[in-house]
Structure 1
């Protein structure tokens, strides 16, 4: 399976007074890594929403913390698409500082149309599904 890798350098504002990353930032970085993955597949989330009113809201998310991250750490997030269903995508994320696993988690997202003034889960289009499945099952 091919992985998408998102790089991030921890900023002071990501940390608490002790310089340790505040846990909600891991969820923010999952979101950023997902956006980066879709961009690399040539389906930028901003363009999907602007042109088609499609978004990928979260249905479920989870993160298990193994080791703290600190101010100015360079971390990389390895993201995998592990499941593609009719309307739902599951992605996993692993956070590393060098070889050290800091955290691991997942997101479940729905392919959602925001047209007609109402959010509605829709089937993932065939061409998008093909790109996601190619990434997921390489």
Structure 2
């Protein structure tokens, strides 16, 4: 499943030259991941409240191709590109119109917070939702 997350660059996202300050891309990837989970009916706040599970970030990378500026309209396109027993990789592409301005990914671990945070296997009901999405993506390659 491809999920799109749209937003407009705000003044506070930019440096003195009006160019987006790079850490904001990581903030937007985080927002896009939670938007992806919500649209997959995997609500981060619900699974934390009911099961004390969350998906902390373990790795992130972003490659910048073109700058973004104040008031640019941006679309982040996100897909789950890898799914393992305890972790998943979600890939993000940033678009301004038709131009891809950045690409990145996050690797997140399903983690229990019942006691000390500890990686855990992805719950089956969640894994089943993610498997069907990843299968669709892999068959398109």
TM range (shorter): over 0.9
TM-score, normalised via structure 2 length? 0.94
- After TM superposition, give the deviation of residue 47 of structure 1 in Å: 1.1
Residues in 2 aligned to 1:30 and 1:120: alpha-carbon distance in whole angstroms: 23
TM-score, normalised via structure 1 length? 0.96
- Within the candidate set 119, 122, 126, 2:120 is matched to 122
Query: Structure 1 residue runs of 4+, over 3 Å off?
Result: none
- Equivalent in the alignment of 2:54: 55
The one-character-per-residue Cα deviations of 1:74-128 (angstroms, maximum 9, x if unpaired) are 1000101011110000010000000111100111000000112x00001001110
Residues matched between the structures, number: 136
- After TM superposition, give the deviation of residue 49 of structure 1 in Å: 1.1
The one-character-per-residue Cα deviations of 1:16-67 (angstroms, maximum 9, x if unpaired) are 1111100000000000000001001111111111111111111111000000
Q: Which structure 1 residue ranges, 5 or more long, are not aligned?
A: none
Q: Which structure 2 residue ranges, 5 or more long, are not aligned?
A: 137-141
Residues in 2 aligned to 1:133 and 1:79: alpha-carbon distance in whole angstroms: 15
Q: Does 1:133 align with 2:128?
A: no
Q: CA RMSD in A?
A: 0.8
